[in-house]
Every structure is written in structure tokens, then in C-alpha cells.
Amino acid sequence: MNQDHMTQRQRAARPPTRRRPLRVGDRVSYMFGTHRVVARVVEDHGNIGVGGRQLVAVVRKTYEGELRDSVVAAEDVTLLRDRKRPPSRQG
């Protein structure tokens, strides 16, 4: 098989490219059932997921104000800009 041609399944299995790796303290959003929720990364489990995917532990607040934790694949979350911290300036 020519390496230039990938099947649709192979393309879908590749993790999307990310601007930077997730770090502890990052605000992220992800789908929880049928709802998109906002959470904070509290622990990086490393690349121990299926196929070497990065797993992270996140904490989210429920509608009742309780804190709930989950472990999610880094490729399933969207990195959000943190409202509390100004963006860092590089240069």
C-alpha cells in the first residue's frame, strides 16, 4: 500500500494537531452526554490511552454546585482561553 494514500479510518484514527499540549490548570470543554461542559485539567495521566493517546483528569461543577471528576482523552477536549489569566506574551 502506498503511504501517500490513507484510508478514511486511518485518517480518523489520527489525533488532531493541537497548538500546545494540555497542562494542569487549563480550562477545557468537552461533550458530557448531550451537553458541552466546561472543566479544569487537574492531572495529566500521560499517554496511557488506546493507541498512546493522552488522558487527563478534569473537574467540573454540576448545576447543583457539586464538583465531579472525570478522565477524558485529550483529543476529545477543546482548550479554552482562561478568563482569569491574561494571555502570555512571547518574544
24-80, CATH topology level: SH3 type barrels. (2.30.30)
Kindly report each contact of residues 36-41 with a partner whose C-beta sits within 8 Å and lies 24 or more positions away, as own/partner.
Answer: 38/80, 39/70, 39/77
Q: What are phi and psi of 57, to 5 degrees?
A: -95, 135
Give this prediction's pTM.
0.65
pLDDT in tens, 1-14: 445 555 555 555 55
Q: How far apart are alpha carbons 81 and 18 in whole angstroms?
A: 14
**Is residue 49 predicted with pLDDT exceeding 60?**
yes
